[in-house]
Amino acid sequence: MFKSLRWKLQFFYSALLATVILSSGSIFYYQVWRSTFTEVDRRLEAAALYLDVTLRSFPPPVQQGIEATLMPPPPLRPDGTAPPPPRPRRSKEQFLEELRLPQELNIPGINNPRDQPYFMVMTANDMLLKKEYLPQGYSEEDSLAKKFYPQPTLIMLKNNLREVRMIGPGGTKIIAGKSLEYEIVRMRYIAIQFTLVGIVFLVFGVGVSFAIASRMVRPITQMSATAELLSEKDLGKRLNINQIDSELAGLAEVLNRLFSRLDASFSRQRQFTADASHELRTPLTVIRSASELALSQPRSPAEYQETIEVSLKASERMTNLVNGLLALARLDSSNADFHLRQINLSDLASESVSLLRAIASEKQVSLVSDLHSVQIFGNPESLSRMIDNLITNAILYNKPGGKVFITLKSYDDKAVLEIKDTGVGISEEHLPFIFERFYRVDKARSRLSGGSGLGLAICKGVIEKHNGAITAQSVLGEGTTFQIQLPIWNY
Ligand code: ADP
């Protein structure tokens, strides 16, 4: 499962999504949490300051918990009239009765006043002036035992109580506080909501990522399915590049090219097997029919001799063919048996020229050689056989009185060997195929000369093994030139 590309993609997407949901949810939750509690603190501080300012608006006796003494009546005006009576001051009870936190300092969204801020005001010597909405179980003694500060100071008490404490006018002690139960429950509720929404998003995201991962690996699955369908008999199938995403189109093209090469290689192999069987069958049929004919009735010694000669010729052809097949098989196989060493190509060419001079003169063809010394790194046996083959062809497919020019030169870092004849030439339609196995331009003539149609294919194989190239140019009726290029040895 962990080797599956789809599962890896799926896992990666899901992990990424979970991380994004978790981190963004946590950040968002933290922001809500912070703003909620900051707001509570801000309002509690405002409440304490409000109480402080309100207490200041009354004369000190109120602040100290003493009844205000009656003021003496104001002096008469110069005209003898009594001044207008001063505005009646509120009594201490009335003032304390009316002392409460204004609506604006309440926390929005809370209907129960018990969940809103509470407060408590005491004189400097701990006499209670006013308390409102103190939560249940609130211990006034414990609270008074704690320190008060000149500035509004926030503290956290047991049972999730948040308080601002400060010293007001005339040493009064002011407490404004709030139970955070409501906020904590609300934050818990928000956390549950966030978790549920996160889970829904995650499930949805995992579903989408599954679909995406499946969609992404589908072309690969299709490609492997098509590749699987390709059997030896149905190598014609190809991947449809138009239906494949651009990133995978390159791979599909490579696979298609591979299929084409395999297809071509299998066809060549089939063709080769068919051709080889056909080539072997002909001499076998000759031997068999000649032998049957000879044995069908008593024959004279001369007739037997003729039969044996025919069989010998046919077996010679078979030997040639089998040798050719063996040489090709060796060239097709690994490089293990193909030993290379430093050699002078001109030595090999001049050996071949002297070896074939006899056959050439028999065919009334003259060999003209111009060979310069060129060192190469190669296999002398196979290269000699190749040169022999090319010169033999140039002699056999020549005209009486014709010529074969063998030249060897070096250009830049290449040895260039040319075998040029003034023979029958090869027509344009045949020229591209002459290096193919069993390809013969004139079958009858080639067979007569003992040719198997494998010679040039072997030459090409040998040259390619040496990292070289062989080309042929020909004009029908005028002659053919084979040019071989091989890398020079210059170490
Ligand atoms: P083969 O053994 O039949 O000669 P090759 O592979 O050597 O087979 O050559 C393939 C065919 O190419 C020959 O059948 C022949 O028709 C043609 N060919 C090869 N060399 C020459 C040449 N020098 N001049 C004309 N035709 C040639």
Around Cβ 324, how many Cβ atoms within 10 Å? 22
Of 80-89, 129-138, 165-174, which gets the smallest average pLDDT?
80-89
Nearest CA owner, ligand 1 atom 19: 393
Q: Which of 275, 325, 386, 397 to mutate to test the pocket of ligand 1 (most atoms within 8 A of CB)?
A: 397
Rounded distance between C-alpha atoms, residue 426 and residue 431, angstroms? 6
Q: With bands split at pLDDT 50, 70 and 90, how would you rate the model's confidence at 75?
A: low
Q: Decide if 342 contacts 375 (C-beta within 8 A).
A: yes
Who has greater pLDDT, 484 or 126? Answer: 484
Around Cβ 470, how many Cβ atoms within 10 Å? 20
Q: Which long-range contacts (CB under 8 A, 24 or more apart) does 97-106 make?
A: 99/51, 99/54, 99/129, 99/130, 100/132, 101/47, 101/50, 101/51, 101/132, 101/176, 102/50, 105/43, 105/46, 105/47, 105/50, 106/43
Nearest CA owner, ligand 1 atom 7: 455
Q: Which atom of ligand 1 is nearest to the CA of 435?
A: 6
Rounded distance between C-alpha atoms, residue 116 and residue 172, angstroms? 23
Q: Which atom of ligand 1 is nearest to the CA of 454?
A: 6
Of 201-210, 257-266, 358-367, 444-453, which gets the smallest average pLDDT?
444-453
Rg of the chain on CA atoms, in Å: 56
* Mean pLDDT, rounded, for 281-300: 92
What does DSSP say about strands 366-371 and 118-122: parallel, antiparallel, or unpaired?
unpaired
Q: With bands split at pLDDT 50, 70 and 90, how would you rate the model's confidence at 70?
A: very low
Around Cβ 278, how many Cβ atoms within 10 Å? 10
Nearest CA owner, ligand 1 atom 25: 425
Q: Is the pLDDT of residue 73 over 70?
A: no
Q: Which atom of ligand 1 is nearest to the CA of 389?
A: 7
Distance 474 CA to ligand 1 centre (A): 12
* Mean pLDDT, rounded, for 40-65: 81
* Mean pLDDT, rounded, for 395-420: 94
Where are any strands of DSSP class E within 60-172? Answer: 118-122, 128-132, 153-157, 161-167
Nearest CA owner, ligand 1 atom 16: 441
Instruction: Specify the amino acid at residue 410.
Output: S
The CATH architecture that domain 247-332 belongs to is: Orthogonal Bundle (1.10)
Cβ < 6 A, ligand 1 pocket: 393-394, 397, 421, 423-424, 426, 434, 439-442, 446, 451-457, 480
Q: Which of 279, 396, 434 to mutate to test the pocket of ligand 1 (most atoms within 8 A of CB)?
A: 434
Of 221-225, 265-269, 271-275, 293-297, which gets the smallest average pLDDT?
221-225
pLDDT value of residue 230: 66
Distance 453 CA to ligand 1 centre (A): 7
Of 194-208, 249-263, 282-296, which gets the smallest average pLDDT?
249-263
Q: Which atom of ligand 1 is nearest to the CA of 456?
A: 6
The Cα-based distances of 95 to 89, 98, 173, 334, 456 in angstroms read 9, 5, 17, 112, 125
SS3 for 36?
helix
Q: Which atom of ligand 1 is nearest to the CA of 324?
A: 2
* Mean pLDDT, rounded, for 462-466: 93
Q: Which of 440, 447, 460, 476 to mutate to test the pocket of ligand 1 (most atoms within 8 A of CB)?
A: 440
- Provide the percentage of residues in the chain whose pLDDT is more than 90: 51
Rounded distance between C-alpha atoms, residue 331 and residue 277, angstroms? 20
Distance 479 CA to ligand 1 centre (A): 12
The answer to whether the pTM exceeds 0.85 is no
Distance 59 CA to ligand 1 centre (A): 133
Q: What is the pLDDT of residues 467-478, one digit of tens each?
A: 999 999 999 999
Nearest CA owner, ligand 1 atom 11: 440
Around Cβ 206, how many Cβ atoms within 10 Å? 15
Who has greater pLDDT, 246 or 292? Answer: 292
What does DSSP say about strands 173-179 and 161-167: parallel, antiparallel, or unpaired?
antiparallel
pLDDT value of residue 65: 54
* Mean pLDDT, rounded, for 349-360: 95
Q: Which atom of ligand 1 is nearest to the CA of 457?
A: 6
Which of 51, 71, 49, 74 shows the shortest CA–CA distance to 61? Answer: 71
Distance 440 CA to ligand 1 centre (A): 6
Can you identify the CATH homologous superfamily of domain 341-487? Histidine kinase-like ATPase, C-terminal domain (3.30.565.10)
Instruction: Specify the amino acid at residue 453.
Output: G
Q: Which of 419, 430, 456 to mutate to test the pocket of ligand 1 (most atoms within 8 A of CB)?
A: 456
Of 60-69, 304-313, 343-352, which gets the smallest average pLDDT?
60-69
Q: What is the pLDDT of residues 15-52, one digit of tens each?
A: 999 999 999 999 999 999 999 999 999 999 999 999 99
pLDDT value of residue 1: 57
Supply the mean pLDDT for the chain: 86
Q: Is the pLDDT of residue 11 over 70?
A: yes
Supply φ then ψ for residue 434, to 5 degrees: -65, -20
- Our CA dihedral for 199, 204, 210, 215, rounded to 10 degrees, sits at -160
Q: With bands split at pLDDT 50, 70 and 90, how would you rate the model's confidence at 235?
A: confident
Q: Which atom of ligand 1 is nearest to the CA of 458?
A: 6
Of 240-249, 324-333, 346-355, 420-429, which gets the smallest average pLDDT?
240-249
Computed from CA positions of residues 19, 20, 26, 30, in that sequence, does the dihedral angle turn out positive or negative?
positive
Domain coordinates of the chain in residue numbers?
A: 1-65+90-229, 247-332, 341-487
Nearest CA owner, ligand 1 atom 21: 393
Q: Is the pLDDT of residue 68 over 60?
A: no
Nearest CA owner, ligand 1 atom 8: 453
Distance 468 CA to ligand 1 centre (A): 20
Who has greater pLDDT, 65 or 213? Answer: 213
Q: With bands split at pLDDT 50, 70 and 90, how would you rate the model's confidence at 56?
A: confident
Q: Which atom of ligand 1 is nearest to the CA of 440?
A: 14
Q: Is the pLDDT of residue 63 over 90?
A: no
Who has greater pLDDT, 50 or 252? Answer: 50
Distance 312 CA to ligand 1 centre (A): 24
Nearest CA owner, ligand 1 atom 4: 451
Q: With bands split at pLDDT 50, 70 and 90, how would you rate the model's confidence at 422?
A: very high
Distance 262 CA to ligand 1 centre (A): 28
Q: What is the pLDDT of residues 301-319, one digit of tens each?
A: 999 999 999 999 999 989 9
